[in-house]
Amino acid sequence: MTGQGRASAISPRIPGARSETIRRSNLASILTSLHIAGPASRSELVERTGLTRSAVGGLIGELTARGLVSEARARPAGTPGRPSPVASARGDENVVVGLEILVDTIAVAVVGLGGEIARIERAHRPRDVAPAERLVEELAAMVRPILDGLRDARRVHGVGAAVAGVVHRHDRRVIFGPNLGWHDVPLGDLLRDALDVSVPVVIGNDGDLGALAERRRGAGRGVHDLVYLSGEVGIGGGIISGDHSITGGSGFAGEVGHMHVNPDGLRCGCGAIGCWETEAGEDALLRRAGLDPADGAVAVERLVADVERGRATARAAFDEEGRWLGVGIASLVNLFSPERVVLGGFLHRIYRHVIEPLRIVLDEQALAASRAQVEVVSAELGADAPVLGAAEAAWDSLLTDPGGVAPLGT
Amino acid sequence: MTGQGRASAISPRIPGARSETIRRSNLASILTSLHIAGPASRSELVERTGLTRSAVGGLIGELTARGLVSEARARPAGTPGRPSPVASARGDENVVVGLEILVDTIAVAVVGLGGEIARIERAHRPRDVAPAERLVEELAAMVRPILDGLRDARRVHGVGAAVAGVVHRHDRRVIFGPNLGWHDVPLGDLLRDALDVSVPVVIGNDGDLGALAERRRGAGRGVHDLVYLSGEVGIGGGIISGDHSITGGSGFAGEVGHMHVNPDGLRCGCGAIGCWETEAGEDALLRRAGLDPADGAVAVERLVADVERGRATARAAFDEEGRWLGVGIASLVNLFSPERVVLGGFLHRIYRHVIEPLRIVLDEQALAASRAQVEVVSAELGADAPVLGAAEAAWDSLLTDPGGVAPLGT
């Protein structure tokens, strides 16, 4: 074999760095740092970014002129001398809108640059098949008055939406949303039209976006390798490996609920046999406890109340749930060797009742090297993770190119 | 879907670009492009890297002065005028050594910059537990005369080793190699001492390195999302998602053979119940065919001969093997949504006898959106993938910082 003969036919691009793109990427580094890691002095920004002090000063000047950053002098407690200026992302002036379309709920959040939540509203919806247009209209009716209130006072930089389904990230379409009854819905375009906005509208799978939110603002902060699990009817998830989100080329990856764990199991909503969510999803838990899966979150709360009162059937159902969670999480630990597995969605609500049997199975079924490095924890953002992740995703275009924002007063 | 941030409460570093590091990274871009994608004119390098023509010229000059690149005028067939110079990586002067320690074989390869294979030697070994020191000494006895022959004529830039085990990539230790009987072996240090080399010695899991080789030089060229499967006794693998290798923080990830597919299955060598490799590994195939798993590759060849002669027991064994491969690959397709699944190792040898039942199960068990985008193919590098991947990994430090190489004549 000659190496040269085996070169890729499609002229691979291995990008170099051109000087004119560097200032833009450095603006992005400073603003991203202030957004994700919080306010910082210039010295701290030098430390965080590796840029020179004078470069940092110039970049802060540009971001300030664009109304994205403000600097104020603050004296750290107990230190003498002239206080050094601290730069902050201007969440008062710059916001995004996060949306959520799940099986049981729709929600909207307004989040400022820097991550402060201005408001969250959530509405429960019946667990039924709903035409996309109707659901988008219900959501739009929640969002419009909020957007109208924002338009004068603040700049809205983007809209993000988390949806319970397989999302094509480039086309902004929901390819398949079994529990919503959706097939190939152009959700991005429907939302843009219904909300009448000109800012970017991004959509993502609720598991992927929940993972993003927990990693930036919740139980996954500082973690480079993270598995986030959530779900209502089924089990969704989002995986971050070496700081990269596992999406696949079109955004279809991360369907953890459809790992095959039982060749003699049940038929899943996806058509396959023995998917993990048929054994460890909410339906399976409720079925084993003798409750009606159609009652969803209400039935889960009843089951939690039962186990806390010491009822044996409830305890047995949670034990079995914990074991099946352990089987699937052991596979994920062997595949990804994450530092942390975060249980969100309905798994967050039942965490304390399943964690013991789960850990026993994990000890038995996961490879020792990876088992020793992982902890299984409860989500910090709870039910808000998907809508907050949608808001985080809505920042992407601003954070990638803050120089594209017009300076104030122009 | 995630932005570029490494969010962390503990002083996150979001690197900016300093001008003094840019030249270094641009040298790396040019050399990496010539190494992976093959010879190119300056115009092609402008296209590949996005750098200006004058920048490309200067960088080629620096790489030429360091003996890493040469330029020669070549006239494309049938074009008039002055031929434009074509730059090539100098594989004649610059090599690495790849090594392989598997259950059935040890091997050594010498590979030039640009990917041309100068030589490969392989020795079969008995499938027994072998102390690491003994195996390293056997390998060193193969490598030393080769290294001695190279020392005068060529520069050796690194040594890489692929090993059948869980590897700690920073410590260069094999944490667990069940089929070699290894626990916590400092393989990197043992090899460096036995070979008496001062160049970097990197070690990696055979599945991860096989994936790297197939992606750069084999069936995965041009593919951004790739699952590579291999294996002898068990099933190993390497996963590339969005151009990033899935390793986990310590290198333990990608243990695809230890996904749990059968709660009523067999106990695996890892101690767990129902791992995929207990159903789809070489042992399982041979056992189902009534052959002795201890006969390994020899028995597999016999079974292949049997099925080609139309023997029904062999056909039934391959059908069952194909079905179990399909179950596990369906999970991997749902998790990673790869463009390509590459069957290497013993799966490469049996590919044509399992691919039909495998595809039937994949159609049934994988989510339609991801299924439609994936193809399952046979490896191109066959048994050489791990040792060639080890060689590719050995280039890492040169490709990351070619400016660290002294100019010729200094």
ipTM of the complex: 0.90
Say how far apart CA A228 and CA B70 lie, in whole Å. Answer: 49
pLDDT in tens, B253-289: 999 999 999 999 999 988 999 999 999 999 999 999 9
pLDDT in tens, B142-183: 999 998 888 777 899 999 999 999 999 888 999 988 888 899
Cβ–Cβ < 8 Å for B23, B12: no
Say how far apart CA B384 and CA B98 lie, in whole Å. Answer: 10
N-to-C CA span, chain A? 61
The reply to whether A94-209+388-402 and A219-380 are identical in fold is yes
pLDDT in tens, A25-70: 899 999 999 999 999 999 999 999 999 999 999 999 999 999 999 9
- B39 CB neighbours in chain A (<8 A) are 4
Number of H helices, E strands in chain A: 14, 16
**Per-residue b or e along A16-51, where b marks 16 or more CB atoms closer than 10 Å to that residue's CB:** bbeeeebbebbbbbbbbbbbbbebbbbebbbebbbb
Closest Cα partner for B278 from A263, A304, A275, A227?
A: A263
Report the CATH architecture of B94-210+388-402.
2-Layer Sandwich (3.30)
Say how far apart CA B166 and CA B255 lie, in whole Å. Answer: 8
- Top CATH class, B19-89: mainly alpha
Residue of B7, B51, B264 lying closest to A18 (CB–CB): B51
Tokens of B380: 């191109």
Sorted by where each begins, the domain ranges of chain A are: 19-72, 94-209+388-402, 219-380
- Chain A's closest residue to B331, CA to CA, is A259
Note whether B7 contacts A367, CB cutoff 8 Å. no
- B334 CB neighbours in chain A (<8 A) are 255-256, 258-259
Strands B375-378 and B340-343: parallel
Q: Which residues, other chains included, contact A408 with Cβ-Cβ below 8 Å and sequence gap of 6+?
A: A65, A66, A67
Between the CA of residue B109 and those of B99, B341, B358, what are the distances in Å?
Answer: 6, 25, 33
* Maximum CA extent, chain B: 72
Cβ–Cβ < 8 Å for B396, B234: no
User: DSSP alpha helices (H): ranges in A254-338?
Assistant: 276-280, 282-288, 296-308, 312-336
Say how far apart CA A301 and CA B253 lie, in whole Å. Answer: 36
Q: A219-380 has which CATH code?
A: 3.30.420.40
- Please report, to the nearest 10 degrees, the dihedral formed by the alpha carbons of residues B259, A334, A346, B327 taken in order: -20
Q: Which residues, other chains included, contact B310 with Cβ-Cβ below 8 Å and sequence gap of 6+?
A: none
Report the CATH architecture of A19-72.
Orthogonal Bundle (1.10)
Interface test with B, best of A2, A244, A334 (most B CBs within 10 A): A334
- A33 CB neighbours in chain B (<8 A) are 5, 12, 14
Between the CA of residue B10 and those of A47, B6, B13, what are the distances in Å?
Answer: 12, 11, 9
pLDDT in tens, A16-36: 666 667 888 899 999 999 999
- Tell me how many degrees the CA angle B96-B97-B98 measures, rounded to the nearest 5: 120
CATH topology of domain A94-209+388-402: Nucleotidyltransferase; domain 5 (3.30.420)
Q: Is A146 on the interface with B (CB under 8 A)?
A: no
Q: Which residues, other chains included, contact A318 with Cβ-Cβ below 8 Å and sequence gap of 6+?
A: A285, A303, A307, A350, A353, A354, A357
Given this model, what pLDDT does residue B400 score? 92
Q: H-helix or E-strand containing A397? A: helix A396-400
Given this model, what pLDDT does residue B1 score? 35
Note whether B29 contacts A35, CB cutoff 8 Å. no
Q: How distant is the Cα of A200 from the closest Cα of chain B, in angstroms?
A: 14
What is the side-by-side order of every strand in the sheet holding A155-163?
A117-124, A105-112, A94-101, A155-163, A201-205
Say how far apart CA B159 and CA B142 lie, in whole Å. Answer: 14
Report the CATH architecture of B221-380.
2-Layer Sandwich (3.30)
Interface test with A, best of B260, B261, B279, B320 (most A CBs within 10 A): B260
DSSP state of A407: P
- Tell me how many degrees the CA angle B241-B246-B249 measures, rounded to the nearest 5: 145
- A250 CB neighbours in chain B (<8 A) are 337, 369, 373
- Chain A's closest residue to B36, CA to CA, is A7
- A175 CB neighbours in chain B (<8 A) are 369
Angle between helices B206-217 and B385-394 (to 10 degrees): 80
Classify the phi-psi angles of B396: left when phi > 0, otherwise alpha if psi is within -120 to 50, otherwise beta: alpha
- Residue ranges of E strands in A91-133: 94-101, 105-112, 117-124
Given this model, what pLDDT does residue A19 score? 67
Task: Render each residue's pLDDT in chain A as its tens digit; 410 residues.
Answer: 333 333 333 344 666 666 667 888 899 999 999 999 999 999 999 999 999 999 999 999 999 999 999 999 865 556 666 677 899 999 999 999 999 999 889 999 999 999 999 999 999 888 777 899 999 999 999 999 998 888 777 899 999 999 999 999 888 999 988 888 899 999 999 999 999 888 999 999 999 999 999 999 999 999 999 999 997 788 999 999 999 999 999 999 999 999 999 999 999 988 999 999 999 999 999 999 999 998 888 999 999 999 999 999 999 999 999 999 999 999 999 999 999 999 999 999 999 999 999 999 999 999 999 999 999 999 999 999 999 999 999 999 999 999 888 887 65
